[in-house]
Amino acid sequence: MTEFIDFHVHPPVAELLNGPIAPYLVPLEDRIDAALEVRTVDDVASYYRDRNGKAVLLGWDTETITQTRPFSGTDVAAMVDAHPDVFYGFGSIDPARGAAAVAGVHSAARLGLVGLAFHPIGQGFDPSSRSAFNVYEAADEHGLICFFHTGYSRLGSGMPGGTGLRLTHGAPTAVDEVAATFPNLQIVIAHLGRLWRDEAVAVAAHKSNVWLNLVGSTPRGCMDDLDALAGLDFDRCLFGSDWCFASLDDSLAEWQAGSVDETVRRRVLHDNAERLLGLVGT
């Protein structure tokens, strides 16, 4: 039986590290105090298979901002096709592309991807801006999950002007507007809204189509946060590590047996993700 589904994985393949991450790589490595080494697709699959886990791979398209080739839906789909027993794939769409962005959503669905990953800070857009709604409408049409990086971002951190990236684009309250407009669209708030944790929890409590990705959160810390809001439990919380930008093993250690009620632990590590992924295309 699979032990966990990591719902937040940036695979350290050449297409990502030498592509959209390249402009931020050196300061990012300084921030995480680790060198990011390129691995093969097979290496990444073995990394998760050895731990009896599965990985949700996130595409990355910041070409409008960085002028670098995206880690595209085609790249992600190729990884999934190579190891379908381990990987699920999310494409990445830059809403600034207009009609081409909508076409990209349809392409992601044809490729068999299960969702779309957005990085509003890195992509330089407000998730609640009406210009992005055609993209969400197309995602809704195909039953694709929409995944939003929220809160503080290490991209551009410590650089002059943060390289022009705006943290305000990571506020989870913007995602609330999307969830309200598209009630059948399944939405994931990543990083538990880091900087805006209370707001993220409130959005998920208010909108049943919103899920919380508990990246960098301890079980006890999560329980303290989530219990503070009546009516919200762990049924829409998803484990995530943010690997390769954070340690998968450290994240798993936080959720080891005995760290929290075993039923809750199993839901967060595996069952909720399996249930959400089972909604794709419906």
Per residue in 3-20, pLDDT (tens digit) is: 999 999 999 999 999 999
Q: What pLDDT does residue 32 have? A: 76
Total residue count of the chain as it appears in this document: 282
Tell which residue, 61, 48, 166, 51, has the closest CA to residue 105: 61
Residues of the chain predicted below pLDDT 70: 156-159, 162-163, 217-233, 281-282
Q: Is residue 45 part of a domain?
A: yes
Q: What pLDDT does residue 228 have? A: 55
Q: Is residue 58 part of a domain?
A: yes
User: What whole-number distance in Å separates Cα of residue 261 and Cα of residue 51?
Assistant: 21
User: What whole-number distance in Å separates Cα of residue 273 and Cα of residue 264?
Assistant: 13
Q: What pLDDT does residue 171 have? A: 87
Tell which residue, 157, 176, 179, has the closest CA to residue 166: 157
Q: What pLDDT does residue 135 have? A: 98
User: What whole-number distance in Å separates Cα of residue 269 and Cα of residue 253?
Assistant: 12
Q: Is residue 74 part of a domain?
A: yes
Q: Is residue 213 part of a domain?
A: yes
Give strand pairing partners of 88: 56
Q: Is residue 282 part of a domain?
A: no
Angstrom distances, CA of residue 81 to CA of 41, 85, 142? 11, 9, 20
- Supply the range of the domain harboring residue 98: 4-277
Q: What pLDDT does residue 261 have? A: 84
Q: Which amino acid is at 84?
A: P
Contact 168, 125 (CB under 8 A): no
Residues near 97 by Cβ (< 8 Å), separated by ≥ 6?
A: 64, 104
Q: Is residue 245 part of a domain?
A: yes
User: What whole-number distance in Å separates Cα of residue 78 and Cα of residue 67?
Assistant: 23
Q: How many CB atoms lie within 10 A of CB 42?
A: 12
Q: What pLDDT does residue 227 have? A: 57
User: What whole-number distance in Å separates Cα of residue 21 and Cα of residue 66?
Assistant: 9
User: What whole-number distance in Å separates Cα of residue 214 and Cα of residue 103?
Assistant: 31
Burial code (b: 16+ CB inside 10 Å, e: under 16) for 68-86 equals bebbbbebbbebbeebeeb
User: What whole-number distance in Å separates Cα of residue 222 and Cα of residue 241?
Assistant: 15
| CA 62 distance to own-chain centroid | 15
Q: What pLDDT does residue 244 have? A: 94
Q: Where are the alpha helices (DSSP H) in 2-70?
A: 14-17, 25-32, 41-49, 63-66
Q: Is residue 98 part of a domain?
A: yes
Radius of gyration of the chain (CA): 17
Distance between start and end Cα atoms, the chain: 25
Mean pLDDT over the full length of the chain: 89
DSSP state of 271: I
Q: What pLDDT does residue 218 have? A: 66
CATH at residue 132: 3.20.20.140
Q: Is residue 165 part of a domain?
A: yes
Q: Structurally, how many domains does the chain consist of?
A: 1
